[in-house]
Amino acid sequence: MKKIFITMAFVLAAAWGANAQRYCVIDTKYILESIPEYKEAQQKLDAVADQWQKEIDAKFQEVDKMYKSYQAEQVMLTEELKQKREAEIVAKEKDAKDLQKKRFGYEGDLFKKREELVKPIQDRIYNAVQKLAASRMFDFVLDKSGGATVIFYDPKLDKSDEILKSLGVKK
């Protein structure tokens, strides 16, 4: 009876060990910030965004200038001229808002530029993570950069430096 119990305990322990999931933790934010190409891409994006923001600010300043001019001259204008000037101001403001949406809106120019510059880097990281997971037989990989999904992890499980090494980044 004792032999059967010990044998069953051993079989259960072996089965549990075979079914145990293997996982690791990475920090994609750390990985990205350690890659020089990402820093360059981010600087390019920031420069483009600044340029576009200045362009949009200039358009809104023009609208503001038109409105202030209209307010100063309003008492001297006929009703027909008032409506014409108001329509011009509204049209100019709409143009500025449309440009803002085109540049910074959902799937706007900045989004496309980010895709062009950053997505290839993200794809390289994703491929490196896949290779690491396959070679080490990890069942899943957690990303701690979001902060909300990982409450605690053992630093030994963090494989971010291995991903960087596989990408050829020296730390």
**What is the chain's pLDDT, residue by residue, as a tens digit (171 residues)?**
544 444 444 444 444 444 456 888 888 899 999 999 999 999 999 999 999 999 999 999 999 999 999 999 998 989 999 999 999 999 999 999 999 999 999 999 999 999 999 999 999 998 998 888 888 888 878 888 876 455 455 677 788 888 888 888 876
Structure tokens belonging to residue 126: 């994703």
Structure tokens belonging to residue 102: 């085109």
The whole model's pTM is what?
0.69
Cβ(26)–Cβ(141) below 8 Å: yes
Question: Beta-carbon neighbour count of residue 88 at 10 Å?
Answer: 13
Element (H, E) at 143: strand 140-143
Structure tokens belonging to residue 78: 């006929």
Alpha helices in 20-108 (DSSP H): 28-34, 36-73, 79-104
The upper half-sphere exposure of residue 18, i.e. CA atoms within 13 Å in the direction of its Cβ, equals 6
